[in-house]
């Protein structure tokens, strides 16, 4: 094969590391098929030592699907349209106090774009500038493994439920993010601007469990950040169930934490993996760029008020 695959962590049932990949081989249909199979099978793939910077990042992303422009991309962004800047600067970036510890660019466990009806299939992250004083790790937890680890009675209870999501960039107000003593100190400028118009984002609904099409494996599809409640059960009983599931989904004994090297690129399956960012010292700088790989599992929908008809239904009238 044109590249070498090793386990990321022998303890874990997901994740792979790819080395010796020459970007010139990405035109080969067999190489493309093998990389795609690996992504679907293992959920997270760390590519180490692939030359070519941004061009390779975009080329490699296109092996897994078309790249899309992120819906929250700032109008003044200067990077290639396929790229989103994940940047923390001392004078612009989120700062959260996490159990007494201030962290720049910290993010709780989540799925990207779960707050819209078509969540992207994945992305590739690549560092531009890593922090000087450590930190800045990215965590991943496999939700196929999380579903498998649920007790049978709970699996049966949740298989047909849906979860309501809404965009709320201040994670300290997220009801199902279980982080002790969490406090928002500052939101980055672009997030603060988005939150001024947050009412233009409708609530959306995604299934709590779905089946990975290629393998038949079930996924616990719950992003604790952005979750509002169980559809049709936004009450004490539903919230109690969702709190229990959120705690289970982020069990860090099942996590892989990536410590970044300059020549890494990390691909993940956003339909299957929760991810998080540990953050950096507030005086430090961290800059990564991410592609957004398009896809639609066709299970999400915009929540409609009773009696309201959807755009699609209207077209069929």
- List of residues contacting Fe ion (CB under 5 A): 112
Residue closest to Fe ion when measured from CB atoms: 112
To Fe ion, the closest distance from the beta carbon of 287 in angstroms equals 15
Decide whether 21 or 93 has the Cβ nearer to Fe ion: 93
To Fe ion, the closest distance from the beta carbon of 100 in angstroms equals 24
To Fe ion, the closest distance from the beta carbon of 291 in angstroms equals 12
Decide whether 210 or 226 has the Cβ nearer to Fe ion: 226
To Fe ion, the closest distance from the beta carbon of 107 in angstroms equals 6
Decide whether 112 or 264 has the Cβ nearer to Fe ion: 112
To Fe ion, the closest distance from the beta carbon of 226 in angstroms equals 11
Distance from C-alpha of 296 to C-alpha of 235, rounded to nearest angstrom: 30
**Two structure tokens written together for 267:** 């691909």
Decide whether 39 or 115 has the Cβ nearer to Fe ion: 115
Contacts of 152 (CB under 8 A, 6+ apart): none
To Fe ion, the closest distance from the beta carbon of 278 in angstroms equals 13
To Fe ion, the closest distance from the beta carbon of 275 in angstroms equals 6
To Fe ion, the closest distance from the beta carbon of 215 in angstroms equals 24
Decide whether 26 or 107 has the Cβ nearer to Fe ion: 107
Distance from C-alpha of 250 to C-alpha of 246, rounded to nearest angstrom: 6
Cβ count near 154 (within 10 Å):
15
Decide whether 82 or 112 has the Cβ nearer to Fe ion: 112
Decide whether 110 or 254 has the Cβ nearer to Fe ion: 110
Decide whether 228 or 292 has the Cβ nearer to Fe ion: 292
């Amino acid at each position: 094969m044109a590249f070498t695959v090793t386990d990321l962590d022998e303890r874990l049932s997901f994740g792979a590391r790819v080395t010796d990949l020459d970007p010139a081989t990405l035109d080969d249909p067999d190489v493309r098929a093998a990389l795609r199979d690996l992504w679907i099978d293992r959920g997270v793939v760390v590519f180490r030592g692939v030359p070519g910077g941004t061009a390779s990042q975009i080329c490699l992303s296109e092996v897994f699907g078309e790249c899309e422009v992120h819906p929250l991309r700032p109008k003044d962004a200067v990077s290639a349209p396929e790229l989103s800047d994940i940047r923390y600067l001392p004078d612009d970036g989120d700062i959260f106090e996490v159990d007494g510890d201030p962290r720049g660019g910290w993010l709780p466990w989540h799925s990207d774009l779960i707050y819209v009806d078509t969540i992207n299939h994945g992305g590739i992250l690549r560092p531009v500038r890593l922090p000087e004083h450590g930190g800045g790790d990215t965590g991943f937890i496999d939700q196929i493994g999380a579903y498998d680890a649920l007790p049978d009675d709970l699996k049966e209870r949740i298989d047909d439920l849906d979860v309501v999501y809404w965009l709320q960039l201040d994670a300290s107000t997220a009801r199902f993010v279980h982080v002790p003593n969490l406090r928002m100190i500052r939101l980055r400028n672009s997030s603060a601007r988005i939150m001024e118009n947050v009412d233009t984002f409708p609530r959306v609904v995604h299934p709590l469990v779905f089946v990975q099409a290629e393998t038949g494996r079930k996924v616990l599809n719950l992003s604790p950040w952005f979750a509002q409640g169980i559809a049709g059960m936004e009450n004490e009983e539903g919230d109690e169930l969702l709190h229990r599931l959120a705690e289970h989904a982020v069990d860090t004994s099942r996590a892989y934490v990536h410590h970044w090297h300059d020549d890494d690129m990390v691909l993940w399956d956003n339909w299957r993996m929760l991810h998080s960012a540990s953050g950096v010292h507030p005086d430090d700088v961290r800059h990564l760029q991410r592609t957004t790989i398009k896809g639609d599992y066709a299970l999400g929908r915009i929540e409609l008020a009773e009696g309201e008809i959807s755009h699609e239904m209207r077209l069929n009238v």
